[in-house]
Amino acid sequence: MNIPRLNLLLWLACIGILFSACDKKWDEHNAVADPLAGETLLEEVAKNPDLSKFSEYLSKTGYDKLLASSNTFTVWAPTNAALQAVDPALIDTDEDLKMFVGMHIATQSLLTTSIQQPYVAVKTLSSKNVTLTKTTVDDIALVSKDKYVANGVLNVIGTALVPKVNAWEYLVSTNTLQKQVLSQYTYTYRDLNKAVQTGVDPATGEPVYEPGTGFVTSNSYRDALFRDANGMISRRHDINNEDSLFTYIVLTDAAFMAEKNKLERYYAAGDSTDSITNLNVVKDLVFHGLLNKDNFPQSVYSAGDSVRFHLKADAVVETHRVSNGIVYVMNSIDYDLGVNGVYDPYTKIKPIIIQGENLAGDMNNLNAGDRANRTRIRRNPNTQQIYTDFISENHGKANYWIRYNAPGTVHPIKYKVYWVAVIDFQEAKFPMSITFKNINQPRAFTREVELDDYSEVELGEYTFDKLYSSTTKSLQLPVFLMGPNITTNGLNTLVLDYIKMVPVQ
């Protein structure tokens, strides 16, 4: 009976010794950490003689009060030698100095040990991004790092962070043909939220604004909206955006002309051919993230239209780090053009998919009652995939037709045309036709729909006479699904899953 009691006492004694040792270790830890725990970033900078010039600049800009506050920051403090090397023109005015100093301060506390990705982008007080790795900030080595104090983290750098232009600002500073093309899309509008109101018009009750205030310059190329697979809308071309990181390609003038000559035949549109071709030469040169020219991926996809590019390091003639990424000036580019008759959504000249349920409603309502037209949710028994198709039945009309507008761009080239149209609701077969441009055109394709055939049926090839684009109403390509010249219900039904058009040449 005494042995278990002795074991218990020994066990309790060991636990006591263990906790005593832990307390001692914790006290030793606090003895190291406590001297910094109560210090601010301002105090830590001020006590380092090698940061005296940066301390002086903090006082001149008023950022000393910020770094003495209870908010948290990350600071990359340049040494005196680093500041001595800065071009005086960059800090000549109070505004310039504040921009310069703000480049070295971010409004969040970030340790390099917390960086899990190859790099992270952090916005500074100057509203410019810096790119961090575990050992660098904007490719500048950290002389010392991760000194944790009461209101943030202090790092020391041997080269100052100079405010950079962003990718758009770099482009407009050049004299390239690319700059000339995209500058044509610049416009000015008045943002009343930024205008200075001086009163109210007594006659109308409308606000009166100070002349010349509230005007903002933007660019319709950068403003272009895109919807991703999750339905999220973004401006993927906005290389003026400081909240994202981009890789942007600027073509040399010779490369621009080579691309223009290659693409011109695909964008023939009368008097506007030249401007449309020019835009399509340069519109797909934005990529998300930072691409390292020494390790370009085998394939990379453009931010706007997901064109598959194959970038080559030996085509890079200049490299420019910018505040929202990196700019490569290149003397050639390589991408998948996509005029080989193979369906590929990542090519420059893209295939077209017209979904049966996406009717051009303005024409449909003039042609038949809503009761004749409906969509269905179906399952393909061969693939088990769910799909939605369109059916129009029992409408009692001869030559009944449904109009679609082809999405995207249809080029003045040859396309292979396919459809998927499934009868699984009646025994009688029936013919359908496709007509392009207007209902009085000859029917391009006529094919009898087979029972329970879920396969993609090749209808034939069709060459278009000019460029069509869904983004411009006058250039939209109408596509008509047409029934036969009979009124018998069951034999004049229209049904469609989709029409596919694949570029050939």
Q: How many CB atoms lie within 10 A of CB 115?
A: 14
pLDDT at 449: 93
Listed range (239-248, 353-362, 414-423) with the worst mean pLDDT = 353-362
Residue 312 has phi, psi (to 5 degrees) of: -115, 130
Rounded mean pLDDT, 249-257: 98
Listed range (14-18, 87-91, 493-497) with the worst mean pLDDT = 14-18
- CA 406 from centre of chain: 24
State the greatest distance between any 2 C-alpha atoms of the chain, in Å, as a whole number. 109
Q: If pLDDT is split at 50, 70 and 90, which confidence band does 25 have?
A: very low
Rounded mean pLDDT, 282-309: 94
Higher model confidence: residue 129 or residue 253? 253
**What separation in angstroms does the CA of 5 have from each of 2, 8, 9, 15?**
5, 5, 6, 15
Closest C-alpha to 40, from 66, 78, 60: 66
Listed range (164-168, 311-315, 369-373) with the worst mean pLDDT = 369-373
pLDDT at 6: 40
**R_g (Cα) of the chain, nearest Å:** 33
Beta bridge partners of 329: 250, 318
Q: If pLDDT is split at 50, 70 and 90, which confidence band does 271 have?
A: low
85 dihedral zone (left: phi>0; alpha: psi -120 to 50; beta): alpha
Cβ partners under 8 Å of residue 474, min gap 6: none
Helix axes 94-102, 52-61, angle to 10 degrees: 120
pLDDT at 244: 86
Helices and strands of the chain, counted as H and E runs:
12, 32
**What is the rounded CA–CA span in Å between residue 288 and residue 267?**
27
- As given in the structure block, the two tokens for residue 51 are 């940061």
Q: What percent of the chain has pLDDT over 90?
A: 72
The set of long-range contacts for 122-126, using a CB threshold of 8 Å and a minimum separation of 24, is 122/74, 123/242, 123/243, 124/161, 125/63, 125/101, 126/98, 126/99, 126/100, 126/102, 126/163
Closest C-alpha to 184, from 247, 278, 269, 286: 278
Residue 236 has pLDDT above 80, yes or no: no
Closest C-alpha to 359, from 398, 396, 397, 407: 407
Q: For the chain, what is the mean pLDDT?
A: 88
C-beta separation of 454 from 386 below 8 A: no
Residue 182 has pLDDT above 80, yes or no: yes
pLDDT at 50: 97
Residue 196 has pLDDT above 70, yes or no: yes
Rounded mean pLDDT, 120-145: 93
pLDDT at 4: 46
**HSE value, Cβ hemisphere, 13 Å, CA-based, for 261:** 6
Closest C-alpha to 409, from 233, 269, 225: 269
**What is the rounded CA–CA span in Å between residue 238 and residue 246?**
9
**What is the rounded CA–CA span in Å between residue 434 and residue 482?**
6
- Residue 306 identity: S
If you search the block for the tokens 């002086």, which residue do you land on? 56
